[in-house]
Structure 1
Amino acid sequence: MSIEAKGTITFQSFGLGVWALAAKDVTYELFEPPTELQQEGLSVNITGIIRDDIMTVAMIGPVLEVQSFEISGS
């Protein structure tokens, strides 16, 4: 099932680093995010799937696989 999340892109320096979406109530760890999303401080709306079948080193929150996204104005 797809979800929609709105927030800010952050870079967390765990191991080699991980890109995340800091939403209002939760931080999502982005699974293989597109290059366009790999920008600290970017405001975005993301549609994606929560991947319960993946474990990560960072374990900062649910793993979100991006299906589509829209960059928001600041």
Structure 2
Amino acid sequence: MSMKVEGTVQRATVGLGGWMLVTAEGQSYEIYQESAPPDLLKEGLKVKVKGAVREDVMTLNMVGPVLAVESFEPA
């Protein structure tokens, strides 16, 4: 199911690294790198992301639910 999330892109400093989206409320989502456009993966970028949480994917980062990105725009 698609959802929209607004937040700030941050580099994950736990696990093997990676990228996450952190909302103003403090909820974090791990950005699924296989679906992430390179323009999204920039530290401090404020964005609105349309995507879906992947229940079938596990990672070693463990920073939050894995979010597969469908599209994004600057916030």
Q: Same fold (TM over 0.5)?
A: yes
Instruction: Name the counterpart of 1:70.
Output: 73
**Whole-Å separation in 2 of the counterparts to 1:34 and 1:57:** 21
Two-structure CA RMSD over aligned residues (Å): 0.9
Aligned mate of 1:60, from 56, 59, 63: 63
Task: Report the Cα offset of residue 34 of structure 1.
Answer: 1.2
- The alignment's TM-score, normalised by the length of structure 1, stands at 0.90
Aligned mate of 1:50, from 37, 49, 53: 53
Q: Which runs of 4+ in 1 moved over 3 A?
A: none
Structure 2: gaps of 5 or more residues:
none
**Whole-Å separation in 1 of the counterparts to 2:63 and 2:20:** 8
Task: Report the Cα offset of residue 24 of structure 1.
Answer: 2.7
| Count of residue pairs brought into register by the alignment | 71
- The alignment's TM-score, normalised by the length of structure 2, stands at 0.89
Structure 1: gaps of 5 or more residues:
none
Give the letter aligned to residue 67 of structure 2.
L
More strand by share: 1
Pairing of 1:10-21 with structure 2 (within 5 A): 10-13=10-13, 14-15=15-16, 17-21=17-21
